[in-house]
Structure 1
């Protein structure tokens, strides 16, 4: 082999390795690393050690957590208002009488109270509902608790439990009069998420699969629930 051929072979080899390096660099810098970073920012480590279920006042298992919002309390109240979800009235004798009368007369009560559930040792910080027609026995509702720790960007993080009240009846466990939820809590999670997306005030929506390892159960009222195990996370725009 002549010196010219040897030099050409060496040049061709360098070009091949250079081409391979450029391809590898492109894949790592423009595809792999952005994907990894995106997954990291969506991971929300604050959820790693968080509870999966709410509890009732007497310590029984409540409804499952299925949605989280990232934003301030004021931002949550504003986006829920735009999504046509109304803040629930506090529990009390007066509101109990009103919801009883409205149930009998089939009048809408858009701010009817919700029973208290507990997380982090306290009842819900915020509660919202969306009426269904003029029947106060049926409604969409969600409770939110502010997580004690912010997310990795220092933003306020709220854990929520969304479910659908399909009727009023006696509790299967205590005999008290209560709302009974529909078992498909994923459907309610997706309904709320859809309403929030319609406001155009979300900067990001992601899903954490396998948040729940136990995919079915019963709440404190004896109502059955089931889930695909996913937690939806929605980030409110910070203008």
Structure 2
């Protein structure tokens, strides 16, 4: 089982890197075609920027940050591209239901989840300067997962300016560096405008550099709206520093970490103040005594994602991500494009194709009728096979996803070799569309959300024994 998981990781890693390199090639094809068209190619520059900002640079960052950015808690969140995101500057003790109640009473509005509808809503509200109090916030990751939820306060009815804070539930038994136990961590910043990311060139919110001001604003608003809470400050939790977040915005902080203790669910007194775990001599506890410690007494000083799937881990359903749907859609679109080419060849026939090539002075097409039929059958299989397997990808079958990825890599490699050797010219049209769809499929299905969805363990249907 472990060997099979390792093999899947190798295939996934190869396809992940290959997709990034293929995206670079696609950007080169688009910009080359743009220069060929002259002024009519100006829209192609927009396409080139979109490819660079939303496909090429994010994938390159993802590849590099997987190497040099640690995947455990260092007091910083991470973007979906793997870059270091906003610093963690708040912690909380208490139940989720109480947290929602306190934030609502303190004048905060829960942000909508990111979806096509909410994303379009924030674009419209930003351009028209209309109010959108529940505007979504971009996903940031901590403990290997996206924020559980976020709250915000809109400023002057403009979604471009807002206070906002993301919340993550801490893993069971996890302790902050230094041994303090908390239930939630949060990252609060103030969006001051909309601009382009310094690292990816994507359209994003730009934040205020002094994140301590936003941290103190959140604490002050909670104390004003829910006087029953208490606040304890872990001074110098992290060294005060100047840095940049995932959008390239400057951030600086004094390193203090306020811990907000929420009241109990029944309105009782706040949770007890955080207590730093005592230092224990390792030699004082033998293997037998250590094994008898309760899980709550065990210290987890860092949180790292497992290298391979743990079949003993509890089942946690992951909903189908948009990347899976996108990958299947592009697979079907590619099947339609290739099918159109095969159908066109079948309608023309070998004689007509040969005549057209000779007339254009680009070569000839001499083939026996049997060979031509075999060529059409192969083309049909190339079009249909990935689409058929794509239905299984939609259901979360991992071997089907890997099959589509490997077929896509093979297709792109063949196209690249033909292009590099001067045997094929990939310009605007069906050829470029097929190449682009192959690369989009690779990018969508080799990403982390698609990988996690396809690899998740699913409960087996109970078997009934006849009597």
TM-score band (shorter)?
0.7 to 0.9
Q: Please tell me whether residue 160 in structure 1 is matched to residue 186 in structure 2.
A: yes
Alpha-carbon distance between aligned partners in 1 of 2:171 and 2:246, rounded to the nearest angstrom: 24
Q: Could you tell which deviates more after superposition, 121-130 or 51-60?
A: 51-60
2:76 aligns with one of 53, 75, 92: 53
Q: Deviations over 1:27-81 (max 9, x none)?
A: xxxxxxxxxxxxxxxxxxxxxx953000111211000000111111111110000
Pick one of 250, 260, 272 that aligns with 1:234.
Answer: 260
**With structure 1 as the length reference, what TM-score do the two structures score?**
0.75
TM-score normalised by length of structure 2: 0.39
Name 2:238's counterpart in structure 1: 212
Secondary structure at the counterpart of residue 229 of structure 2: strand
C-alpha deviation, 1:133, in angstroms: 1.1
**Number of residue pairs the alignment of both structures matches:** 190
Instruction: Find the residue that maps to 1:169 and give its secondary structure.
Output: strand
Deviations 1:87-146 (A, max 9, x none): 111112111211111112211110000000000000001211110011110000000100
Q: How far is the alpha carbon of 1:203 from its aligned partner?
A: 3.5
If each structure's helix is expressed as a fraction of its own residues, which one has the higher value?
2
Matched residue, 1:223: 249
In structure 1, C-alpha distance between the alignment counterparts of 2:147 and 2:225, rounded to whole Å = 24
| Contact 2:86/2:187 (<8 A) preserved | yes
Aligned partners of 1:61 and 1:50: how far apart in 2?
11
| 2:108 equivalent to 1:85 | yes
* Paired residue secondary structure (1:196): helix
1:102 is matched with which residue: 106, 125, 129?
A: 125
Contact 1:204 1:235 in 2 (8 A): yes
- Higher relative strand content: 1
Q: Single out whichever of 162-171 and 90-99 deviates more from structure 2.
A: 90-99
Query: Helix, strand or coil for the counterpart of 1:77?
Result: helix
Assess, with a 3 A threshold, how the Cα gap between structure 1 residues 199 and 169 changes in structure 2: closer, same or farther. Answer: same
Larger RCO, structures 1/2 (Cα 8 Å, 6+ apart): 1
The reply on whether 1:126 has 2:149 as its aligned counterpart is yes
Q: State the partner residue of 1:39.
A: none
Q: Distance in 2 between matches of 1:214 and 1:84?
A: 29
* 2:92 and 2:185 in contact (8 A); partners too: yes
CA contact (8 A) 1:146 1:156 kept: no
Over alpha carbons, which structure has the higher Rg? Answer: 2
Matched with 1:23 is none
Structure 2 gaps of 5+ residues are 1-71, 176-180, 268-467
Asked if the contact 2:167/2:187 (under 8 Å) is kept, the reply is yes
Q: Residue 13 of structure 1 corresponds to which residue in structure 2? A: none
- Off by >4 Å, runs of 4+ in structure 1: none
CA distance in 2, matches of 1:136, 1:226: 24
Q: What CA RMSD, in Å, does the superposition of the two structures yield over aligned residues?
A: 1.9
